[in-house]
Amino acid sequence: MKDTIRSLDVARIRQDFPALNERVHGRPLVFLDSAASSQKPIQVLSALDQAYRTSYANVHRGVYYNSERTTDLYDQAREKITRFIGAPAPENVVFVRNATEALNLVAYSYGRHFLQAGDEIVLTELEHHANFVPWQVLARERGIRLKFIPLTPQGTLDLARLDELLTPRVKLVTFAHVSNVLGTITDPRPVIERAHAVGAKVVVDGCQAAPHMPVDVQALDCDFYALSGHKMLGPTGIGVLYGKTDVLEAMPPFMTGGDMISSVTFDSVTWNEIPVKFEAGTPAFVEAIALGAAVDYLAALGMDAVRAHEREVVAYAIERLTEVPGATIIGPTDPDIRGGALTFTIKDIHPHDLGTLLDREGVAIRAGHHCAQPLHVRLGLPATARASFYIYTELREIDALIEAIYKAKHTLRK
């Protein structure tokens, strides 16, 4: 057993997360499901509380003090997120509900405007449904062909196949920066360069990357980058679509209504400027302000330190899980090329049974297909178990996981 982590002061961090002190079934909570959604620090909880409790008013509407103050806080939040992901300007940061909405926005607005029958979209075998189904629906509707970057036996993308997939018909390439199942980190730069060389636009699903490692969308040179606030200490109901200026400007709106217009007459309408063109209706401004507090928290820790901590936790989890008879890790076992979502199976124990037995010990993991059914078909597994880690995960929690797995094996006599 190890008890020191150099990169983050985890004991100190845990004091900021009240939900981690909860007990479940009379036992201390061991929360290992941060890939589904992270816990929230008091800084984010109090940003929400403050925004509702003091000077609450709708944004972009009133000429009175409270509305102007809330609008300022909302604009500041957009600026914080702009800096956090290395976007050139706030106009490149579109607020949406979550990564699912960000990806649908691209599929509906960009996809339906710029792609046509005979075009091709390249995606990968490891996508979350949020970055799969919108393209599948678009492809069926428009007669577009979907092509998939296959997996290597290690669970990385087989990029040796990219050149043969990247024909001049390919108009869009999309992939997860980090897989929510395999944990695989794909270095986006070479894929983006090669996609751009055939004139394709690139959409990166950064839902499992932005919370866990430094991201610089300008250095990546991607056309779009999608993320969810709730996975990175922020509240639910707020996410981000980053887009390059020329691409966002060329796209028609996704949804229409208030705020996103410049002027409306009985027979004409003109659109507002980006990013507001894509933000119809009252935005989730309180949640955006709280997401600003979340990225402040992460930036203060330093995203290099966040990544280093998770690398250490996942390396330890791999080491410990490998000792368990009948355990199989699904995905790369090299901690340098994987994030902190560790998927596994235990021989002869259904992942749901395992999840239920672990829950009795206070250990929360996820079981199922993790919204990646095509990937599970490819892996030949109906379901898997997944433990996922974050800035507050301690090595003793990995020990608790392993102990609970042994106990489950004993209970089921496996």
**Rounded-to-integer distance, Cα 91 and Cα 83, Å:** 12
Tell me the residue type at 240: V
Q: Is 28 in contact with 362 (CB distance < 8 Å)? A: yes
**Rounded-to-integer distance, Cα 240 and Cα 45, Å:** 20
Residues that bind ligand 7TS (CB under 6 A): 35-36, 98-100, 128, 130-131, 176, 180, 205, 207-208, 228, 370-371
70 vs 208 by CB, closer to ligand 7TS: 208
> Shortest distance, CB of residue 371 to ligand 7TS, whole angstroms?
6
Task: Compute the radius of gyration of the chain from its Cα atoms.
Answer: 22
**Rounded-to-integer distance, Cα 168 and Cα 217, Å:** 25
Catalytic residue among 137, 280, 301, 371: 371
> Shortest distance, CB of residue 306 to ligand 7TS, whole angstroms?
17
**Is 371 annotated as catalytic?**
yes
130 vs 291 by CB, closer to ligand 7TS: 130
> Shortest distance, CB of residue 190 to ligand 7TS, whole angstroms?
20
Dihedral angle computed from the Cα positions of residues 32, 38, 39 and 41, in that order, rounded to the nearest 10 degrees: 130
Tokens representing 222 are 């991607």
333 vs 388 by CB, closer to ligand 7TS: 388
Q: Is 90 in contact with 78 (CB distance < 8 Å)? A: yes
> Shortest distance, CB of residue 129 to ligand 7TS, whole angstroms?
8
260 vs 372 by CB, closer to ligand 7TS: 372
Would you give the distance in Å from CA 317 to the centre of its chain? Answer: 21
**Rounded-to-integer distance, Cα 13 and Cα 113, Å:** 46
**Rounded-to-integer distance, Cα 145 and Cα 213, Å:** 33
Tokens representing 37 are 């959604």
Q: Is 351 in contact with 368 (CB distance < 8 Å)? A: yes
119 vs 235 by CB, closer to ligand 7TS: 235
**Rounded-to-integer distance, Cα 369 and Cα 321, Å:** 20
> Shortest distance, CB of residue 278 to ligand 7TS, whole angstroms?
16
264 vs 377 by CB, closer to ligand 7TS: 377
Tell me the CA end-to-end span of the chain in Å, nearest whole number: 24
> Shortest distance, CB of residue 376 to ligand 7TS, whole angstroms?
13
Indicate which residues carry an active-site annotation.
371
